[in-house]
Chain A
Amino acid sequence: MKHVVLFLLITLCVLHQDFWWRNDPTPVLGFLPVGLAWHIGISVAAAVVWWLAVRFCWPAELEEGVVDSREGPAPRQDEIAAAEREAR
């Protein structure tokens, strides 16, 4: 499924170039230039493809690999925020 989603994303990028209506002012629905309508379709299609990515390609290890304990630098950040409260 990852390959399908990747293929769809690449296809979207190609379709985005709009080789067909870039010089056509014909209005769709009486007011929307066809070139603009095409790109509205690209936006909607992007949402669909990203839904597929989230549904079928979500990296589950992101949630599994995180530990609750904090490591790393945190110099006096609690003191800084407490001082912010007092300063208000």
Chain B
Amino acid sequence: MTLSVILAYIVILLVLTLFSTRRTKRTAGDYFLASRGIGPFMLLMSLFGTTMTAFALVGSTGRSFSHGIGVYGLMASWSAIVHSACFFFIGTKVWALGKKHGYVTQIGFFRDRFRSEALALLLFPVVVLFVMIYILMGIVAAGHVIENLTPLSYVAGTGLICLVVLVYVFFGGMRATAWANTFQTLVFMIMGVVAFVVITNDLGGPVKATETLMARDEALRAEVPGWTSRMVREGHYSELVFLTYCFIPMSVGMFPHIFQHWLTARRASTFKLSIVAHPVCILITWLPCVLVGMWASGELDAATVKENVVLPMMVALHSNEFLAGLIGAGILAAIMSSMDSQFLCLGSIFTNDIIAHYVGRDRYESRQLVVLGRFFVALIAVVAFSVALLKPGPVFSIGVWCFTGFAGLVPLVIAAIYWKRANKQGAIAAVLTVAALWVYYLPDALGGGFLLLDMMPVTTIVAASSLVLIVVTLLTPPPPSEIVRKFFPGKP
């Protein structure tokens, strides 16, 4: 029954996206950017749906289970402040520049802003690597959800998700992705509330659930040395870690798929609803997950249960098969609503910024370029799927390291938009710094997380990239005056 409900949801999703493709025009602007005609509500659903991922559902529940309610403050309430700041200060400016100069991708923007082919070629593998880790997070989470809710295996679950997302991205492009995001965002928000109500009722109501947890905490303090309640932040995160987590949500400022969503907005004022409503949407999604994870700590064995399976286990334990199917579909909706944007953006980056820009004009016909683009996206999916089979670490840890890389690149986009002195040498140096540090610490990160100087490593990486960007820029010649006139008109 659970599997049937999930499969029915997938069919509905595919039908919806096929319907939306009838409205697409035969232009690159429509395929990649939905003709820059997305309104406020769909932009909110696209941005929110894309940023709420497996990390927000599976990751937050698992982390709350293992480390308590502090995870809400680490991510959700920091994101309420920082995500909207990125939309306000970065997104609107990117939109304006994209509308004025016709940018379709993030790399296209940076190539033109800094007039540097070297920067574009350097950014490409870095961005692809970071996005692939992001995709990996979704695939791993989907595999655990499907394995714990249906008769399918982890391998079958991960493969199914990759296949479904690839199908509707290949056929529909950005407009289908926007429609799918809107539909799936509404699904996962509604199903999140449903899951919370169902699980809470089965636990005897929220008050009873908390009373049970508090009684269990008393017993665990006596049984388990060093046991710390999940109802507090103390003992799980230091003050410095809690503070420096603010850099993690800053990563949204450099997500290439978010960048592409920004470019789809109809006008600058389209951003207003997203800026204001995004904090509330995060609250609606994160609060139920954090509470469920907290209550789970009083029910599941913390010594044996892994973080990644807490949410599907709680759903399986406290709902019937039909509801488990609906809720499972909601979780998969959150995962797929991010993966589709990530796949689409990788395809557009490869097709527009690499093949068409460097190779396509003389050597390939347009139809062949399309095939190459799809081949590239499929290759990324296969690599991510293969790594997912190894079951690498908690979803939360994978997500944090992915976001760390993107956050390290945010000084670059801020400099590009606001600092007319910023030049290609500084930009290249900053990207190299971030890439080197990120790869160097990758094994430690995927092992479950680590600290640098008692702070989140993202702090060091952001500081290093900022410093390198500024120092190298000031030690090298300023950018050509034509670039300054183009991007900072009217400013001497």
A binding-site residues for B, Cβ under 8 Å: 9, 12-13, 16-18, 22-25, 27, 30-33, 35-36, 39-40, 42-44, 46-47, 50-51, 53-54, 58-59, 62-63, 65-67, 70-88
A-B contact pairs, 29 of them (CB 8 A): A12-B81, A23-B234, A25-B232, A30-B206, A30-B207, A30-B210, A31-B209, A32-B210, A36-B69, A39-B76, A44-B279, A44-B283, A47-B279, A50-B275, A50-B278, A72-B102, A73-B112, A75-B357, A75-B360, A76-B369, A77-B356, A78-B29, A80-B28, A80-B373, A82-B26, A82-B366, A83-B370, A84-B173, A87-B371
- Taking CB atoms, residues of chain B closer than 8 Å to A83 are 365-367, 369-370
Contacts of B283 in A (CB 8 A): 40, 43-44
- A50 and B96 CA atoms in complex are apart in Å by 20
Q: Please indicate which of the listed interface residues A24, A32, A72 has the most CB atoms of chain B within 10 Å of its own CB.
A: A72
* Selected contact of B268 from candidates A62, A76, A86, CB within 8 Å: A62
Closest 4 CB pairs of A and B: A77-B28, A23-B234, A31-B206, A25-B231
* B282 in contact (CB, < 8 A): yes
In the complex with contacts A13-B246, A43-B77, A47-B80, A66-B275 CB distance below 8 A: no
Of the candidates B93, B269, B352, the one whose C-beta lies within 8 Å of that of A77 is B352
How far, in whole Å, are A73 and B101 apart by their CA atoms in the complex?
8
With A62-B93, A80-B356, A80-B370: A72-B101 Cβ-Cβ less than 8 Å: yes
Contact with A along B346-379 (1 / 0, CB 8 A): 0000011000110011000111011101000000
Q: Do B356 and A76 touch across chains, with their CB atoms under 8 A apart? A: yes
Q: Are A53 and B275 in contact (CB under 8 A)?
A: yes
- In this complex, how many residues of chain B approach chain A with their Cβ under 8 Å: the count is 82
> For B26, what are the chain A residues with a Cβ–Cβ distance below 8 Å?
78, 81-82, 85
Q: Contact: B28 with A53, CB < 8 Å?
A: no
Q: Which DSSP category, helix, strand, loop or mixed, fits chain B's interface? A: helix
Q: Is B30 an interface residue (CB 8 A)?
A: yes
Set of chain A residues within 8 Å of B69, measured between Cβ atoms? 33, 35-36
Q: Is the CB of B171 within 8 A of A9?
A: no
In the complex, A86→B102 CA distance in Å?
24
Chain A residues whose CB sits within 8 angstroms of the CB of B31 once the complex forms? 80-81, 84
Distance of A76 Cα from B367 Cα, bound (Å): 11
Residues of A within 8 A of B77 (CB): 16, 39-40, 42-43, 46
**Which chain A residues border B356 with CB–CB below 8 Å?**
75-77, 80
Complexed CA–CA distance, A17 and B78 (Å): 10
A77 proximity list for chain B (CB < 8 A) = 27-29, 32, 104, 352, 356
A72 to B487, CA, bound (A): 12
Chain B residues, CB < 8 A from A59: 92, 268
Residue from A12, A81, A84 having most chain B Cβ neighbours under 10 A: A84
Contact residue among A9, A36, A54 (Cβ-Cβ distance under 8 Å from B81): A9
In the complex, are the beta carbons of A67 and B100 less than 8 A apart? yes
Residue of B nearest to A24 (CB): B232
Asked if B103 and A72 sit within 8 Å, CB to CB, the answer is yes
Choice from B96, B233, B370 contacting A23 with Cβ under 8 Å? B233
State how many angstroms separate the Cβ of B14 from the closest Cβ of chain A.
14
User: In the complex, what's the smallest C-beta–C-beta distance from A22 to chain B, in angstroms?
Assistant: 4
Q: Which of A36, A74, A76 has the most CB of B within 10 A?
A: A36
- Which residues of the other chain, B, contact A84 by a CB distance below 8 angstroms? 31, 173, 370
Contact A18 B81 (CB under 8 A): no
Query: In whole angstroms, how far apart are the Cα atoms of A81 and B25 in the complex?
Result: 9
- Asked if B202 CB lies within 8 Å of chain A CBs, one says no
CB contacts (< 8 Å) of A32 on chain B: these are 206, 210, 291
Contacts of B124 in A (CB 8 A): none
- Using CB atoms, name the residue of chain B closest to A65: B96
Chain B residues with CB under 8 Å of A79's CB are: 28, 366
A59: nearest chain-B partner, CB-CB: B92
Q: Determine the distance from Cα of A27 to Cα of B95 in the docked complex, in whole angstroms.
A: 44
Residue ID in chain B nearest A13 by CB atoms: B81
Closest CB-CB distance, B78 to chain A, in whole Å? 7
Of all chain B residues, the one with the shortest Cβ separation from A42 is: B77
Known: A73-B112, A83-B366. A42 touches B80 (CB 8 A): yes
Q: Which residues of A contact B290 (CB under 8 A)?
A: 36
Residues in B with CB closer than 8 Å to A72 are 101-103, 112
Interfacial chain B residues near A51, Cβ < 8 Å? 276
> Chain A's nearest CB lies how many Å from the CB of B445?
24
List, in ascending order, chain B residues with CB within 8 A of A66's CB. 96, 99-100, 268
Asked if residues B101 and A71 are in contact (CB atoms below 8 Å), the reply is yes
**A50 CA to B110 CA, complexed, in Å:** 28
